[in-house]
Copies of this chain bind each other. A is one copy, B any other.
Amino acid sequence: MTDQQIAEPHPVEGGVTSARGFRATGVHAGFRKDPERRDLALVVADEPCACAAVFTQNVFCSAPVTVSREHLEGVGYGTARAVVVNSGNANAATGEPGLEAARETARIAGDAVGCPASEVLVASTGVIGVQLPLAPFGTGLPAAVSLLSAAGGADAARAIMTTDTCPKEAAATFSGDGVGYDGCTFTVGGMAKGSGMIMPNMATMISVLTTDAPVAPNVLHEALVRAVGRSFNKVTVDSDTSTNDSCFLFASGDAAPAGAGAFDPDGPAFARFEAALTSVCETLARMMAADGEGASRLVTVHLAGAANDADADLAARAVANSPLVKTAICGHDANWGRIAMAIGKSGASFRQEDASIDIMGLPVCRGGLAQTFDEDEALRRFEQPEIVIDVDLGAGEAETTVWTCDFTHEYITINGDYRS
Contacts and interface: CB of A to CB of B under 8 A. Distances in A.
Contact of A60 (B197, B341, B367, B409): B341
A301 to B, nearest CB: 15
Contact of A61 (B58, B95, B344, B348): B344
A255 to B, nearest CB: 38
A343 B59 contact: yes
Contact of A365 (B93, B321, B407): B93
A239 B128 CA distance: 25
B332 A420 contact: yes
Interface stretch (A76-84, A162-170, A181-189, A410-418): A410-418
Nearest to A353: B95
Copies of this chain, count = 2
Interface string A340-361: 1111110010111101000000
B417 A412 contact: no
A370 interface: yes
Interface in A361-409: 365, 367-370, 407-409
Interface of A: 57-61, 92-95, 127-130, 196-198, 200-201, 203, 238-243, 321-324, 327-328, 330-333, 335-338, 340-345, 348, 350-353, 355, 365, 367-370, 407-409, 411-413, 415-420
26 contacts: A59-B343, A59-B344, A59-B350, A60-B343, A92-B337, A95-B353, A129-B369, A197-B324, A198-B337, A201-B337, A238-B324, A239-B239, A239-B322, A239-B323, A240-B323, A240-B341, A240-B345, A242-B341, A243-B340, A243-B344, A323-B323, A327-B416, A328-B415, A330-B412, A331-B415, A409-B409
